[in-house]
Structure 1
Amino acid sequence: MPGPRAVASDDTWGTPIMPRLPRPRIPGFRGLRPLRLPPLPRTREGRRRAVQALMVLCVLALLPATWLRVSTGDRLRTTADAPRTEVAIVFGAGLWDGEPSPYLAHRLDAAAKLYRAGRIEVVLVTGDNSREDYDEPDAMRAYLTAHGVPGRRIVSDYAGFDTWDSCVRARKIFGVHEAVLISQDFHIRRALALCRAAGVRSYGIGVAARQDVTWYYGNTREIFAAGKAALDAVFEPDPRFLGPEEHGVGRALATAR
């Protein structure tokens, strides 16, 4: 009489091994190919050159950020020691439900403080108004008027889509030759460098910010944005929208005299 049939198992308890089922095949789809990294150099000389190349890349990546720090260090001020300047430029920083974000509110608070102290006469608010349902300059204007800055002393730039655009338009469209710039501390150096490249003599006030997720994001972003800033300063591209000259700043200054 034949003995009991052997059962294939994968452990001492005799658990049956499940037969391998064929992998389903999807017509026209071969699957993703595994990512293959380049092979590491096998010789000492090859490894040395790879390390040198990596070091060169790191230095090149940090050059723009170093340029910003070195070239703007002597032009940073606070609301307490900012020189008297006719115009302040406040850069947009996003809206929350149609109202200035906390970061933007801090910038506007600094501008209102300078106005009340008699250190500035006109505020140029520059931001994004590329959609009908998103209007940074008008939200900034409303905030400033609610904090004591007369509407006739506020000028709006509705095409400040990025820092370079805002600086170029301040000079070419609104005729600003000198200004105090107001932004967060992690952004103000880039604003100073770009406005100088655009022909605006400026000092910068970097308002303090709470070290939250946005703060860390902003600081990290500036490392990469420094590269674009260097290219903008060298090649001086036209802003996304230039348009005709506007005389709002001149008229606002006339009411202050």
Structure 2
Amino acid sequence: MLALWSVNGYVKFSAKNRILSPADAKSLGADCILILGAGVRAGGVPSPMLQDRLLQGIELYKTGASKRLLMSGDHGQKAYDEVNVMKQFAIDREVPSMDIFMDHAGFSTYESVYRAKAIFQAERILIVTQKYHLYRALYISKALGLDAWGVASDPRLYAGQEYRELREILGRIKDFFKVMVKPDPTYLGEPIPLSGNGDVTNDRRSLDSMPANPS
């Protein structure tokens, strides 16, 4: 048990110096701002946590931290779609559609980061999520060879946060061992360079037709 607790502390310690203030992130020149998905409510309304991630990411885009937003989340079923909700939220706040890429197969933090590099060909990324989650995302990024930095989006308290904090400890331990193996994500595919037009990700192919990891 002590060893596992040490893993949790190591993940946090190794990533803490990669967390920037919004002001410091302005000059980063990242290939993209990676906004990690979270829950979407009925009617296509972002949950409070997701809304705060989006607002922070959009602010960073508008202040010049990157010219591209990468919305990564779960769109594995027709009935549940995080990424189109995320993109529309940004468009409604005057971000050009062409600057917004969607990763429809960001089913986990690991898969979102892996695909940012493998599919979207990012090398330097700026990750936006809540601070408790940011440590793990940055640790995964480093293990996968990305030059990753993060900005935390924590403007308020969230209901159920104590449970999330406990669950995140397990997530850090799990991904600590996962990045030693570096398994492929559920889906791979052809490269979608961030230097192009984000609207190429609008017409989503069925995930059934995308190459899946055979394992």
Instruction: Sort the TM-score into its range (normalised by shorter chain).
Output: 0.7 to 0.9
- Conserved 8 A contact 1:184-1:209: no
Residue 113 in structure 1 maps to residue 59 in structure 2 = yes
Query: Structure 2 CA distance, aligned partners of 1:85 and 1:200?
Result: 11
- TM-superposed deviation, 1:152: 0.6
- Conserved 8 A contact 1:87-1:178: yes
Residue 86 in structure 1 maps to residue 31 in structure 2 = yes
- Conserved 8 A contact 1:69-1:189: yes
Question: 1:36 matched to which residue of 2?
Answer: none
- Conserved 8 A contact 2:49-2:158: no
Residue 63 in structure 1 maps to residue 6 in structure 2 = yes
Question: How is 1:173-212 mapped onto 2 (pairs within 5 angstroms)?
Answer: 173-212=119-158
- Conserved 8 A contact 2:116-2:122: yes
Secondary structure of 1:229's counterpart equals: helix
Query: Structure 1 CA distance, aligned partners of 2:188 and 2:144?
Result: 13
- The one-letter code of the counterpart of 1:142 is Q
Larger Rg: 1
* Most deviating of 203-212 and 135-144: 203-212
Query: Structure 2 CA distance, aligned partners of 1:196 and 1:153?
Result: 25
Residue 161 in structure 1 maps to residue 107 in structure 2 = yes
Among residues 215, 223, 246, which one is paired with 2:192 in the alignment? 246
Query: Structure 1 CA distance, aligned partners of 2:91 and 2:20?
Result: 24
Query: Structure 2 CA distance, aligned partners of 1:214 and 1:127?
Result: 21
- TM-superposed deviation, 1:113: 0.6
- TM-superposed deviation, 1:175: 0.3
- The one-letter code of the counterpart of 1:250 is S
Instruction: Tell me: higher relative CO, structure 1 or 2? Use CA pairs within 8 A at least 6 residues apart.
Output: 2
Query: Structure 1 CA distance, aligned partners of 2:127 and 2:162?
Result: 22
Among residues 217, 229, 237, which one is paired with 2:175 in the alignment? 229
Query: Structure 2 CA distance, aligned partners of 1:214 and 1:172?
Result: 34
Over 3 Å counting, the alpha-carbon distance change for 1:214 and 1:150 in structure 2 is farther
- Conserved 8 A contact 1:91-1:126: yes
Question: 2:203 matched to which residue of 1?
Answer: none
- The one-letter code of the counterpart of 1:85 is A
Query: Normalising by the residue count of structure 2, what TM-score does the alignment of the two structures yield?
Result: 0.86
Among residues 132, 143, 156, which one is paired with 2:89 in the alignment? 143
Among residues 13, 16, 19, which one is paired with 1:73 in the alignment? 16
- TM-superposed deviation, 1:94: 1.0
Describe the superposition over 1:142-183 as per-residue Cα deviations: whole angstroms up to 9, x where unpaired.
Answer: 001111211110000000000000111111111001110000
Secondary structure of 1:237's counterpart equals: coil
- Conserved 8 A contact 2:22-2:60: yes
- Conserved 8 A contact 1:90-1:183: yes
Equivalenced residue count is 195
- TM-superposed deviation, 1:209: 4.8
Query: Structure 1 CA distance, aligned partners of 2:197 and 2:131?
Result: 28
- The one-letter code of the counterpart of 2:164 is G
- Conserved 8 A contact 1:196-1:202: yes
- TM-superposed deviation, 1:189: 0.5
* Most deviating of 231-240 and 208-217: 208-217
